[in-house]
Structures are given as C-alpha cells and as structure tokens.
Structure 1
C-alpha cells in the first residue's frame, strides 16, 4: 500500500509540474499576446535545455547513491549538488559567450540572464525532491511541489498588470523562493549543508559520473539540443515565424503527453531489470501511443475551443501543425518504454543511434530549402523514424536472446 502511495505521489507531482507551464502559457497568450507567448515558450525551451545538460544522469544516480548509503547521505547529496553547480557554471559561461558573440537569435540572447538564474534554482529543487523521495518522504516531496505551484501562481498573477519583462522577473523570484524552501527542508533532515559545496571536489567527480551515465547523458543532450535548435530556427526564420506560436502550443502539450512515461521511468526500469520482457515493452509502448492519439484527437476536433482558450485564430495550416506536433508527442511517448527497456538491459548505447537519426532529419529539413514547406511534417517523421530504430533494436536484441537461450 505504501508503494502504491509513493507511486501516486510521484505521478501527481509530475502532473502538477507539467500542467503549470501550460496554464501559465494560456495566461501569457491572453495577457501579453503572441509575442509574449513566443518569448515565454523560448524561455521554457531554453530552461529545459539548461536543466537537461546540467542534470541528465545525475538525478537517478543521486537517488541510487542516497538509497544505498547508510551514514554519509549528507556528503553524497552535497557532492552531487557541487557537480551540478559546476556543470551550471560551465553552461552559463558558454551561453554568455555565445550571446556576446551574437551566435544566438536576439530573442534567445535577451533571455540568457533569466535562464542562468532560474536553471540553478530548478536544479536545486529537482535534487531536493529527488533526495526526499530517496529517503522515503514522497508525501513531503508532493506537498513541496504543491507549495511551489502556489508560489509560482501567486507571483504570475500579481505580475500580469505589468510589462512582460516584469512578469519574467517575478517568475524568477518565485523560483528563488522555492529554492530556499527546498534547501531549508533538506537542512532540517541534515542532508544539505552549504559548507560542503566544493567546486574542487566536483571537478574530480564530474567526469567519472558523466562517464558512468554517458550512455544516457549523450542521447538526452542530442534530443534537447535538437529541440532547442528547432524552436529557435522556427521562431527566427521569416517563412515560419508566424507559425511558431501554434507549434509552441502543440509542443507544450507534447510534453504533457510524455509526462506519464517519464514519471514512471524509475519504476519501469526497475521492473524490466528484474522480470519484464519484450512483450510488456511493446504493450506499454502501444498503450502510450493510443493514449496520445486520444489527446491529439481531442485537440483536432476541438480547434474552435482551443482558439477561444488561447485567444488566437487558427487557420487550417495551424490545425495541421498542432496535430503533427501532438502526433510527435504520441511517438515520443511510445519511445519511452523502448528506451527504458534498453537502459534496464545495459544497452543504452543504442539510444544514441536513435537520437542521432532524429537529429539528422531535423537538421536536413531545417537547412534544405526543399523541405522548408514541410518543416513540421519532418519534425513528426524524425520522431517516427527514431521509433522504428528503437523498435528494430529491441526486436533484434530479443531475437538474439532467444537464439542464445536455445
């Protein structure tokens, strides 16, 4: 019963975390118009890129290390947090350098200061919630997630009477408050101690940690860089700029479609590691795709209501873009069990091939004038192709296993 309660707390926390940006996006579109929504969407995409680069591979390793550690949990947590701070410092310096050298679109460059501050707050919050879950305090982690949601909502609502820049500042302040609250709770459990944060120790530990989680870290970086590039390209290219807001709406809901597979990843990986077979992988994959199709169908047939909610007029092409983006989410959700199965069987290296094939299709469609009119179709095809790569790999590995057991 306790295990079920823990799972529900994790799922509900994920629902809250994924729903909040969508709700704020609707508010931003209605109060700040399409330009404000575009900036907010680019901000969220950039924030995810920062967080993925900094924390990929570390959060699962942190949970495992705290769970296995008997006495030095405080040292373990602060060591991982130190490594995250070092990675944050590196990506911050790189992003500032790119901005100063005019290598980023203007809209992205304007957001870099906000991204740097909010990203370190998000990382500390993620690590805090992960530590609490590892210690068995999933209910407390859930309550902190609810509190965080209320804080962000409060600051967003009181900022709506001001300009968009003030809105971003208030959004930033809400995350700073959440940062202090999360770390305060950890200090009460003798887990966090700022005196143990050491960049010199992190320098020695970062590379071995990345080497250990490289098979997961590399494909995630490829996925996220591709997504960030695609968002930036569509938003800054004259022929597609007017269509970006529709794509951004679809992409926010894409992240909602894939949240359940992502939230259940630790449980699914553990299950596959012990007993799960290929048949269960396929069933889970098809189930996630079907659930995604249901969400996509709702959007397709409720386009009038979507227009009203977002206060935007949708053309037939906009509905197509929305549908293609959501279908990409269906395929991404279907990818999740295949990826989790490969991780559980220590075959995560094959995920890199799928992510590279996805990125190559994205780059070809973006830079080739032949595909410029079907850019969003190419986005969907890239996800579909990556699905077939992963499906084929799992199928071959299963065949190989069956032949060996014979």
Structure 2
C-alpha cells in the first residue's frame, strides 16, 4: 500500500452527501485496500453548521466556506453533491483549476454546461466522473463510456425517474387518477412538495441529454431534448393502454437516426411483454441496444441517499486509483459531433382516442384525415354506440409533425366531438 494519503473534500451534506460521509467513515479501511492508499475526509462544506443531519460529521470537518475548501492545495478529490447550477459550477471549476479531480452527481449542471466542465478537466489533466448523475446506483454511464466503447450503440430507452414511475405504476395497478397517485407519492417521500421537475419531465430530460451524449459521442444538452411530462396522463389513458395489453411509462428515448441524434422524453404506451413494462414502484431501468452486444438492460434503485452514494463512492475509488497512478480516465468523447434531429422529423407512433358521431362515413372520414398526412393506420377499433361512440386508432411509424398535424385536423372535423387521448406508442410490432 502506498504511503501517500488521498484527501477528499465533500460539497453538500444532504440526503446524498450525508451517506457519502458515512461510507467514507465506516468503510475507511476497505476503501484504503481497494484504492491502494488511505483515503481521508478533510472537509465537508454545508450551508448551515447547525442544520440537522442524518450522520454525525467528525468534529472540525464542517465548514460554510466551500470556496476556500476546494481551493486547498492539499485536497486531491472533491465530491460535489449540492446540485443545481450555481455555486456548483464555480466550485467544480475552481477545484479542477486547483489540481483536484472531481466526482459529481449533478445531472442538471452536466446537461446544461457539461462541455465547460469537461474542457476544464482536460486542461487541468484531472478526472471528472459522474456515474451518480443518472439512475442512482445503476451502473449505466460507465458501461456506455467504457464497456461498450468498442461497439456502436444505436438506442437507449429508459425509465430514469422514480417519482413518475411510481405514479404511473399506481395508476395502472389501482386505477387511481394522477392527482391521487401523486399525493400518495408525496406522502411516501417519493415526490417533492413541488414535484414539477419530476412530473413535467425536466429531471428525465437532463438525464436523457447525458445518456445521448455518451452513447452517440456528441454534445447534447437538456434544451436539445424534446420533453413532455405526465401531468396530463389520465386514468382513461392508462385503462386504454391496459386494453391494448400495454402500460404507460415516462420514457427517455435516445436514438441514432442516420447521421443525427434523436433525444426525447414523454409518456408512452409499451407492451407488457417489453422488459421495461415490469419496472415497478420507484425503480429505474435502462435498455440499451447496440450492433454487436445486442440488447442489454440495467435495473435497480434510481434515487435515494444510499444508492446514489454507492455510485459516488464507486467513482471516487476509480478517481483515487488514477491519482495514485498519476493518470486519468477517459474524458469527454464528442468526436462524432452529430446534430440533434428536430422532434417533428422523428418517427413515432400515436395512439389516438376520438369521440365521434355514430353514423355512416365516420370511419372513412377519420381514415382520410390520416391519409391526408401520409400516416398509415395499424389498427382501429370502435367502442360503444350512439352518443358514446369512440374510435381508437393506432398508427404506424411516421414523422411526429405529420402525426401532430393529423390530430389537429381531427379536432377540426364536424364528426369529431372530442379527441380524448393522444399518446405515443413504443415497442412491439408495427
């Protein structure tokens, strides 16, 4: 074992940071054996010294001066788990400039301004690792960056937000509406008091940007990702999916489309036979398709203090080994520099439920509306009669703009009383 001691500073001591501190303290001897040198916690930056914490931080390590902590010359590694854009960005840049390697769980910052951080790490010849930024404890980023580096990834399809998966799972299993399921999620601690980032898809979009960037060797930001949340998903949508042998999931979908990258987050119906359909409660799963390896699935807890801290510590061990060997791991890979395909050009499938007048010619008129936009119909069924007549149409794949225009035309037709549900369909045979 090396006589050198590697010194670690932690930024943040909330749900994740407190568990990082606990693991660093409790597993001190094991970490030293795995790294090949002692790993010493030398400081923990917090906003308030007197705030209640899940773990007891060793005396003398707490500080409110994060700027001074990351600038210390004796700090080898900085763990950033405070989240948000600022001051996290400035602190990470300062840590790199002062010679420390960085481990972060900050998906929002990486999705918004990752290139700035990667360039700073390359200039400083230091590591920037971020496994914990996507899907908690699930090892997905390193397999994309390293294990599949010799393969060509063509698609990444995932459930990457536990809150929304819990809500949609409850709607499917209990018949509850969105509001009821959200309230239960909040009571159980799966959803925040303000659940906007989760239920409107912002969290998943940031993760999709990171996944797409790694999988397709191109810079993709959160603003490049098409986003829809689940707040408009109704119990009727979920019931209709069930009638089709499907389930509704909020999916992050990243695809290689020719020389472009398509990245989107939205609710979709997937067949119950699909591996992702069985992902229950607040769990996450990511389904990867590549040319040589074929289909791979990564599954596990996607959030929570301890699971996320597990991913942070895994990165910390790797980065510590690199520091000891005076080397660094793989940096940003954006050589392909592919453009992001606009959502309107992305080929998708639609499930459309339409309340119509039950009279002759209605089905033909609806079919003509699809044909007007070169959208082929896969299946159509009628439910009810008279005032309760409803057509349920599932399309073949077509450009999303054409499908959207079809729905707009349907809404303007005299025979259509209401388009009651529009949802994309993923997986299964066309």
TM superposition score normalised by structure 1: 0.28
Structure with more strand by fraction? 2
TM superposition score normalised by structure 2: 0.27
Structure with more helix by fraction? 1
The structure with the largest alpha-carbon Rg is 2
